[in-house]
Amino acid sequence: MNQDTFLYTLPQWFIFSAIIMIVYGWIEQKKPFRIIGLVIFILLGLFAIYAIVEGYFLGNEFLTPDEIVSEELGEEVIEKIPFQTQLLPAYWSFIVTAVIAIPAIYFDLKNRKASRLFIVLAGLVSLFGFFIIVGALKML
């Protein structure tokens, strides 16, 4: 499995396993499953931080400054954006998902209704990242 495949498949598994756990926990009224789903979101955020810090998304490794200066900002440049760099906004959304999941866990443990809002927000933001990945895959 090459690095590109790893960058888009692993988050998809994280997202769907977390959502399945949360939905199952909600339907069956089982708090531990909701908490596990939220912890999966936090793990996804930690993975995103690791990938960003390790430099998997550095666009300057793919285009030289001369290439950037000589190109006009148009459709040609967008087509030349490396696949890894197209995934960067998705990884930022995974970090936001992890940040939202923290208060969701806290409120869920305290049996507060505010946890529902944070759980739904975390799910929506993670799905936003998922669709960024899908869009990048369509451009390949």
Query: What HEC string does 37-56 produce?
Result: HHHHHHHHHHHHHHHHHCCC
Q: Is the model's pLDDT at 63 over the cut of 60?
A: no
Q: Which among 83, 95, 70 has a CA at the least distance from the CA of 135? A: 83
In this prediction, residues 25-41 reach a mean pLDDT of 96
- The count of structural domains within the chain is 1
Percent of the chain, pLDDT > 90?
Answer: 61
Please report the pLDDT score of residue 86 as a whole number: 84
- How many alpha carbons lie under 13 Å from residue 7 in its C-beta half-sphere? 26
- pLDDT tens-digit map of 68-105: 566 555 555 555 677 788 888 999 999 999 999 999 99
If one counts every other C-beta atom within 10 angstroms of the C-beta of residue 134, the result is 12
In this prediction, residues 38-52 reach a mean pLDDT of 95
Q: Cα–Cα distance between 118 and 99 in angstroms, integer?
A: 10
Q: Cα–Cα distance between 30 and 24 in angstroms, integer?
A: 8
Distances (CA, A) of 11 to 24, 43, 45, 121, 140: 20, 10, 9, 17, 18
Structure tokens at 36: 């596990």
Domain containing residue 73: 3-138
Q: Cα–Cα distance between 139 and 86 in angstroms, integer?
A: 10
Q: Which among 1, 98, 7, 100 has a CA at the least distance from the CA of 52? A: 7
Q: Is the model's pLDDT at 59 over the cut of 80?
A: no
